[in-house]
C-alpha cells in the first residue's frame, strides 16, 4: 500500500538518506529483533539507533515528516 511512496521518497532523497523496504516474511528474524507485529512498520535509524517509528499506512507527506528533520 505504501510501497510506491517509499520508492518515490527513496528516489527524491537519494544521496541524502537511505530508504529501503524489508520483506518480513523473508526476514522474520529481523522483524522479531525489532518486535514488528504490524505491517507496515516504518523505522528510522540515525547512527545505528532508532530515532523514530510509525506503525500503519500513511500518506506520502506523513512518511516524509518522519525523517525530514534528521537530514
Report whether pLDDT(67) > 90: yes
Task: Write the pLDDT tens digit of every residue in 1-38.
Answer: 899 999 999 999 999 999 999 998 999 998 898 888 88
Report whether pLDDT(61) > 90: yes
The stretches of 1-71 forming alpha helices (DSSP H) are 3-12, 28-33, 60-67
The C-alpha atoms of residue 59 and residue 32 are separated, in whole angstroms, by 26
Task: Please answer whether residues 34 and 43 qualify as being in contact, where contact means their C-beta atoms are separated by less than 8 angstroms.
Answer: yes
SS3 55: strand
pLDDT score at 46:
92
SS3 56: coil
pLDDT score at 71:
86
Domains of the chain: 3-70 (3.40.30.10)
Q: What is the pTM of this model?
A: 0.82
Amino acid at each position: 500500500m505504501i510501497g510506491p511512496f517509499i520508492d518515490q521518497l527513496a528516489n527524491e532523497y537519494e544521496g541524502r538518506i537511505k530508504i529501503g523496504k524489508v520483506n518480513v516474511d523473508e526476514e522474520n528474524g529481523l522483524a522479531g529483533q525489532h518486535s514488528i507485529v504490524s505491517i507496515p512498520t516504518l523505522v528510522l535509524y540515525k547512527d545505528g539507533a532508532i530515532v523514530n517509528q510509525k506503525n500503519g499506512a500513511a500518506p506520502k507527506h506523513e512518511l516524509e515528516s518522519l525523517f525530514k528533520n534528521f537530514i
